[in-house]
Amino acid sequence: MKNPKRFPLVLLIVLLGSGLLLYWFGERWLRAVLLYLSTAVWAQYLVSHTRLAWRVASRFIAGETADDAIAAARTVNSRGLSATLNYLGEHVHTPQEAAYARDEIVRLLDCIQQSGVDANVSVKPSQLGLNIDPRLLYENLHIVLNRARQTNNRVRIDMEESSTVDTTLGIYRRLRDEDGYGRHVGVVIQAYLYRSQQDIAALMSEGAWVRLCKGAYAEPPEVAFPQKADTDASFVQLAQHMLSADARQHGAYPCFATHDETMVQAIRQFAQAQQIPADAFEFQMLYGIRRELQEQLAAQGYRVRVYIPYGTAWYPYFVRRLAERPANMWFFIGNLLR
């Protein structure tokens, strides 16, 4: 884009176009368009250079520095909630970029220890080199986990596109078992993937530390449920497996990442019926989303953890949040128009 002054204008056109798509074709189309935009380099360039866009995105992002994330964690802790901090960034292209992210995450673990906040850390495999070479991801995670062990903390490996699941799970198991990081490392399973039933069965028999979520990427019907109702049904089924007596005997501590009250209610009902104590599992939600539900659950004695992202590479994370709830687009467009 040669003329930066045109950024807001072009952005407004893209957003209004999206609004019309939503009006004519419904949420499914808009979601598909937004998920495409979350990976489009031209859109990233356009939006991340617009100060107005950052103003709206900052509703979901704590700030640009580790200090901002620690301050947000402190606020979240004061509301009776735990935190997981995420240094934003994904799909890096060079080993140097991956090393930069690794060093920032190591520094973050130090900041958590020094500040005394109740927080662990979440990382994206592609931020630490997965797409360059899986060995690079493994080596970088090794360094991060070493510091997690030294600072008595834990690191969760987020799950990205379905094509990365086998490699991510393989590296997770290697670090957990062969390298002895055990419960310092955890992983994520996405309910929209058909394979997740098998993955959860295996991981629960291993006593793994797993976060269950619905899944945030554009996936083809060959690997993932196209209909939201099927993903929801899968989420409930997998959650019940994670809460089963068998899974708990193996030492599982299930984490359920959702803002969906129907999912939350299904988990609560199952746990009550099975007489599972409220502190035997946790709910997880994103920073800036459903604050009142987070506080309500904590007041009822449930453990709740808030995922707090920070950093300058906020674009793909932000657009995925718009895709999850297209109504957020109106909030975005309204701010731009104002």
Ligand X SMILES: Cc1cc2nc3c(=O)[nH]c(=O)nc-3n(C[C@H](O)[C@H](O)[C@H](O)COP(=O)(O)OP(=O)(O)OC[C@H]3O[C@@H](n4cnc5c(N)ncnc54)[C@H](O)[C@@H]3O)c2cc1C
- The residues binding ligand X (CB under 6 A) are 158-159, 188, 190, 213-217, 257-260, 284-286, 289-290, 307, 321, 324-325, 328
The three-state secondary structure class of 210 is strand
Q: Which of 305, 312, 310, 307 is nearest to 66 (CA)?
A: 310
Cβ-based neighbour number of residue 16 at 10 Å:
14
Q: Does residue 103 carry a catalytic annotation? A: no
Q: Is 179 a catalytic residue?
A: no
State the helix-helix crossing angle for 134-150 and 95-115, rounded to 10 degrees. 10
Instruction: Please report, in angstroms and rounded to a whole number, the separation of the first and last CA atoms in the chain.
Output: 24
Q: Which is nearer to ligand X, 136 or 308 (CB)?
A: 308
Q: Which residue in 31, 102, 156, 158 is the catalytic one?
A: 158
When the beta carbons of 7 and 305 are compared against ligand X, the nearer one is 305
- Shortest Cβ 234–ligand X spacing (Å): 12
Nearest to ligand X of 4, 80 (CB atom): 80
DSSP E strand stretches across the chain? 82-87, 119-123, 155-157, 185-190, 210-213, 255-257, 282-286, 303-310
How far is CA 110 from its chain centroid? 22
Which of the residues 31, 147, 211, 303 is marked catalytic?
211
Taking the complex as a whole, the smallest distance from the CB of residue 249 to ligand X amounts, in Å, to 26
Residue type for position 69 = A
What are the angstrom distances between the C-alpha of 105 and each of 33, 86, 155, 240? Answer: 32, 8, 10, 33
CB of 216 to ligand X, least distance (A): 4
**Closest distance to ligand X from the beta carbon of 228 (Å):** 6
- Comparing CB distances to ligand X, the nearer of 6 and 28 is 28
Q: Which residues participate in catalysis according to the annotation?
A: 158, 211
